Amino acid sequence: MPELPEVETTLRGIEPYLLNQTIQGVVVRQPRLRWPVAEEVSALAGQRVTGLSRRGKYLLVQFATGTAVWHLGMSGSLRLVKEEEDPRIHDHIDWVLESGWILRYHDPRRFGALLWQPPGEQLSQIASLGPEPLLAETLSGLSAESLYQRSRGKKQAIKLFIMDNHTMVGVGNIYANESLFMAGIRPTTAAGKISKPRFARLLACIRQVLAQAIEQGGTTLRDFVNSDGNPGYFAQQLQVYGRGGKPCRVCEAVLYEIRQGQRATVYCPTCQK
């Protein structure tokens, strides 16, 4: 499913085409997504996009009257297409722009969403999110110290701890696997047993892995294409995710694969302690 780097890649891809553009029309072919498509979306015709941003995995598109909030769900993608390109099956929403481009939302599983946030308000889905790992500590409040203190006494596995959106946002399954491998931490270790220096190392690795993935366009997944229709490339450099039973690229030990929180976890029994 699209994770933080895929969402950030999408944001950077669509921003030049949307910013300061006026929406000429909205087409909703399927209003029943994870949550019903917000009624306010149908009234966007004639409104101008004043800004775009990201919060966790949510894409925020600002207008004078409020903010449209996209979530890509498990299989969603936003692409820019020309008016003459006919919609495909599972192309659920179009924003027709004055430039002649169309922002088109594609979602086979329909687990994404298009919500509305009135001025001065914050959706409950966004208000509950933890700090952003890619923002500076002074802006996000996220630090090795804060992670260390939050983890004290917790028996929860470290992988599930860093994937919790209340701990921090955007560390999905792929990047949790990769960050823990880079940090040399076994994903089954209780969060409460991780020392402060190891949390410092882990946080640095999380930031490095996410930044690298964004730089390279996100992870290539079957359901994800970025805004220009091309897949990302970070999957070519994955060290452990999807490689259970294969040799570790560092020590050549066989990688273990287990289930945690109904998700696949892959780790090296030698490199990760």
Per-residue CA distances from 183 to 98, 176, 180, 187 (Å): 48, 10, 5, 10
**103 and 29 Cβ atoms separated by less than 8 Å:** no
Please tell me which residue in 54, 55, 57, 159 is annotated as part of the active site.
57
Q: Is 109 annotated as a binding residue?
A: yes
How do strand 91-97 and strand 51-55 relate by DSSP bridges? unpaired
Q: Among this protein's residues, is 57 annotated catalytic?
A: yes
Tell me if residue 121 is catalytic: no
Task: Determine the 3-state secondary structure of 57 from DSSP.
Answer: coil
Helix or strand (DSSP H, E) at 60:
strand 58-63
Q: How many residues does the chain have?
A: 273
φ, ψ dihedrals at 166, nearest 5°: -80, -25
Per the annotation, the verdict on 263 as an active-site residue is: yes
CA trace torsion 125, 129, 135, 138 (10° rounding): 130
> What's CA 213's distance to the chain center, in Å?
11
Residues 6+ apart with CB under 8 A from 127: none
Task: Please indicate if the annotation marks 154 as binding a ligand.
Answer: yes
Q: Cα separation of 111 and 141, whole Å?
A: 31
Among 48, 110, 207, 263, the active-site one is 263
144 touches 199 (CB < 8 A): yes
**Active site (annotated) includes residue 3:** yes
Binding residues for DNA: 90, 109, 154
As annotated, the active-site residues are 2-3, 57, 263
Binding residues: 90, 109, 154
